[in-house]
Amino acid sequence: MNTIEAQNPFLVKQYTTPHNTIPFDKIEVAHYEPAIREGIRQHNAEIDAIINNAETPTFANTIEAYERSGKLLAHVSEVFGNLLSAETNDDMQELAKIIMPLLDEHSNDVSLNETLFNRIKFVYEHQANENLNQEQTKLLEDVYNGFVRNGANLQNEAKENYRELTRQLSLLTLQFSENNLKETNDYKLVLTDKAQLSGLPGSAVETAAETAREQGIDGWVFTLQAPSYIPFMAYADDRNLRRELYMAYNTKCTHDNATDNRQIVKELVNTRMDIAKLLGYQNYAEYVLQERMAQNSKAVYQLLNQLLEAYTPTAHQEYEAIQALAREEQGADFTIMPWDWSYYSRKLKDKKFNINDEMLRPYFELNKVKEGVFGLATRLYGITFRKNVDIPVYHPDVDAYEVFDKNGEYLAVLYTDFHPRAGKRSGAWMTSFKGQWIDSETGENSRPHVSIVMNFTKPTKDKPALLTFDEVETLLHEFGHSLHGMFANSTYESLSGTNVYWDFVELPSQFMENFATEKEFLNTFARHYITGELIPDTLVQRIIDSSNFNAAYACLRQVSFGLLDMAWYTRTTPFDGDVETYEKQAWAQAQILPQVPSTCMSTQFSHIFAGGYSAGYYSYKWAEVLDADAFSLFKQKGIFNKEVAESFRENILSKGATEHPMTLYKRFRGQEPTIDALLIRNGIKR
């Protein structure tokens, strides 16, 4: 063992931190690769013990033994993968090019191990001989199907082809993400003339000045990070500057340079198609959807087409209203372009409802919003949160909380990470640093460590972090995911928490967003950050009244992303055309605004190319149907009704993947969901 391995914090038997949390303060980049390699060695030894067991294969000596194997490897991989998204650097990205193929090779070594699969197959085919409960049966099915879906039935040359394709896929997704992050970080719009700031609210100007100071630049700096980009597009009077920033954002990774993702998009699409066909599927979507609630592409298109039919007429009315306002100001021949949409939408919303982000920001100070969201969980489920500064974190921006159940018992650790920085990818997400499971020998319920990561408006030297209403909704969304993780209560980690079908995983998150427009919730925390005044009832009513403003346009935007995703992954022949042209054709029927030449979403669409939502972006709308239907029960019984909340926790949040999601949903709701609740909520149907 060399010096690095001897001092490697990953390789100790037990951390000395609260709740055995990760000692981030001791981890260096140099620790990952040795720990990964040791994890692979240990996992191989555990697999060998399973396949060399002379006894007849059983659920206990094969399936449970496999489920318990690879703990060190999974742990180190999880930490590395999470920080690659939340706190990366050049060294981490270079190391990823070594580690990711290493992990893929090992994963293939396991899933393509014929002797291991034969034991698993034997248990699967003889399960009637064992008295398995519901969760055990589900684990057995998942393990068996997982091996089949990862090539276990392939023979000889086909196995080697599978190995090569998955290796390529790993490297391509890494490169896609790295290019996207680099292009986002490299761009800055520098303004030195105060007149160019016309229309921008003080908060946006202060943030831009702060960014300029941090970079040693005179003037104001605007970036492609959401807290900078979104207010600029909504408020900047200078149309040419709006167009400049819009084009910078919407042409990311399309330039003929080292960070161009156009060829990578083609290779990703073709590689996934090749994998699916090798495994016997018509296309990649059919492969993915076999383990989704939707089950097949026909059901996905049925949903997307239903939404298109229901929302398109209203979306066109919304467009015409905004076009009319723009022409009032600019003349009869003025045509709204995409860089005008946020600007004139905001103006019309302000005119109709007298409400905008800047009016609301003073009432949404981040710490107060956090208290409100935590308080909502306390009111619904009885859980409480206590910040613990002794729990190590991976960046000074991160806070760690101990979470306690309604009976006072320790439930989970929650990390919160709110602000953008160079080492963090854009967007918002929830992830896990440790899953939940029940120890089969001791019966101990090993509790989870989860994290929510966002890119919210930063504090300035004069003001705390004041959020937009959209950011409040985003926090509720990711916190909903975290509740799904924290309430996990399964025997097996692979069936625990958010390890559910991807078109079900968004239900707990989108469900929480419903509270953002509830007066009873807003009144628990929304106070002016200077005066302490509770948000006025008139302002709350305006939030409620305006909640469906441009809802149809927003729906079609999501539908367009779903159509684009399906167009890429229902292909049955290799793609070698023009990415931009294909994209514009794929989502044309859901577009309301003119399409702009040279812009391209696909080259930066991490969700479907590098983030796990390949052939799954429809999940957001699928889950929205579920969440609207689910929340309608709370509206009927009372939004803080403890019986309904307890049922939601018991049947949805704590069950993980131990049963089929529709079984769980019907147990909570008493019926299958329909699209009606969503249409009513959005004001499309009355």
Q: Which are the catalytic amino acids?
A: 478
Contact 379, 478 (CB under 8 A): no
- Encode 12-23: b = buried (16+ Cβ within 10 Å), e = exposed: eeeeebebebbe
Contact 400, 447 (CB under 8 A): no
Q: Tell me the C-alpha distance between 321 and 316, whole Å.
A: 9
Three-state secondary structure call for residue 222: strand
Under 8 Å CB-to-CB from 164, ≥6 apart: which residues? none
Alpha helices of 256-365 — where are they, by DSSP H?
262-278, 284-289, 297-330, 338-353, 357-360
Transcribe 393-459 into DSSP letters.
-SSTT-EEEEEE-TTS-EEEEEEEE-S--TTS-SS-EEEEEE--EE-TTT--EEPPEEEEE--PPPP
Three-state secondary structure call for residue 576: coil
Per residue, what are the HEC states of 337-366?
CHHHHHHHHHHHHHHHHCCCHHHHHHHCEH
Q: What separation in angstroms does the CA of 78 have from each of 37, 68, 169?
A: 14, 16, 19
Give the residues across from 415 on adjacent strands. Answer: 400, 451
Q: How many CA atoms, within 13 angstroms, populate the side-chain half-sphere of residue 203? A: 23
Cβ neighbour number for residue 529 with a 10 Å cutoff: 18
Q: Tell me the C-alpha distance between 429 and 431, whole Å.
A: 7
